[in-house]
Amino acid sequence: MSARPRTARRASRARGISVWLIALLVALVATVQIRSEAEVERSLVGIDSTSLAFLIDDLHRANESLDAEKAALVRLRAQLQSGQSGAADQVLTDEANRLRALEGLIPVQGPGVVMVIDASGLQALDLQDALNNLAAAGAEAIDVNQRRVVTGVPVTQTRDGVAIDGVVVVPPWKISVIGDVNRLAAVADLMAQQLRADRRVREATYRIDSDVVIRSVISERPFVYAVAS
C-alpha cells in the first residue's frame, strides 16, 4: 500500500536533485564564461600584447643598465675598501670628472651621430621632442649649434626663435650626440624620416661619426633654494 507513494516521492526527489544539479552546472559555466571574459577585458585595458612585448624589451634593457650601474658601484666600493694610499682620492677624482662630463661641465668626445635639421617655423617643443627622443635612445652628451644641452637646460620659444639657455639657435640645427651608435642611428633615422614629411623642414639628415667632439659646456649654477637632506 505505501510502496507506490514512497517510489513516487523518491522519483520526484531524484528529479529535483537533477534539476538543481543542472542549474548548478549552468551557473558554473556562466560564471566561468563571465569571469574569463572579464579577465581578458580587464587585463587588456590600455595595453595590448604587442605593447607588452615592447615593454618587456624596454624593461630588459633598463635592467641591464641597472646591472651595469650595480657592477660599477661594487667596483667603486671595492676600491674604497682597499684602503690603499691615494685610492680614495683617485676614486673621488674619477667620479667627479665623470659627473662633470655627465652634467655638461666639461668638453667630451666619443662615438655618436650628427643630425642636421634645416627648417623654418619649428618651435621649442619640436626641439625638446627631438632632444628627448635622442635621450631616450641613450644619448650621453648632446650639443645643438655649439650649445650644450642636458635635461634641465631650458629650451624656450622666444620672438626671435628657439633659444637654448636664453641664446637663440638659428636653423639649420646641427645636433651632435654621443652614445651607443646603433641605438642613436636607429632613432635618428626615424626622426629624419618623420621630419622630411613635415612641410616646414627643408633638410633632415644624419651621419654616424666614430668621434663626435663636443666642446660646448654649461656653467655650473649654485643652488639657492635646495638643501641636501
User: Does 198 participate in binding another protein (rule CB under 8 A)?
Assistant: no
Task: Report the site for another protein in 97-126 (rule: CB under 8 A).
Answer: 97-104, 106-112, 125
**How does DSSP classify residue 1?**
-
User: Does 186 participate in binding another protein (rule CB under 8 A)?
Assistant: no
CA dihedral 144, 148, 152, 155 (to 10 degrees): -30
**Number of CB atoms found within 10 A of residue 50's CB:** 8
Task: Report the site for another protein in 38-67 (rule: CB under 8 A).
Answer: 39-40, 43-44, 46-47, 49, 51-56, 58-63, 65-67
CA pair distance 72, 218, nearest whole angstrom: 26
Task: Report the site for another protein in 133-152 (rule: CB under 8 A).
Answer: 135-136, 139-141, 150-152
Task: Report the site for another protein in 3-32 (rule: CB under 8 A).
Answer: 12, 15-16, 18-19, 22-23, 25-26, 29-30
- The window from 114-122, 128-136, 167-175, 194-202 that contacts another protein (CB under 8 A) reads 128-136
Q: What are the residues whose beta carbons fall under 8 Å from the beta carbon of 228, sequence distance 6 or more?
A: none
Q: How far is the CB of 205 from another protein (least distance, A)?
A: 22
> Sign of torsion, CA 169 173 176 180?
positive
- The window from 93-101, 114-122, 167-175, 195-203 that contacts another protein (CB under 8 A) reads 93-101
Judge whether 142 and 176 are in contact, CB under 8 Å. yes
Out of 120, 146, 154, 186, the only residue in the binding site for another protein (CB under 8 A) is 154
Which residue bears the cell 649649434?
145
Out of 37, 182, 189, 193, the only residue in the binding site for another protein (CB under 8 A) is 37
Choice between 118 and 180, CB closer to another protein: 180
User: Does 213 participate in binding another protein (rule CB under 8 A)?
Assistant: yes
Choice between 128 and 205, CB closer to another protein: 128
Length of the chain: 229
- Residue 132: which of 117, 159, 152 has the closest Cα? 152
CA dihedral 16, 17, 20, 21 (to 10 degrees): -150
Q: How far is the CB of 201 from another protein (least distance, A)?
A: 19
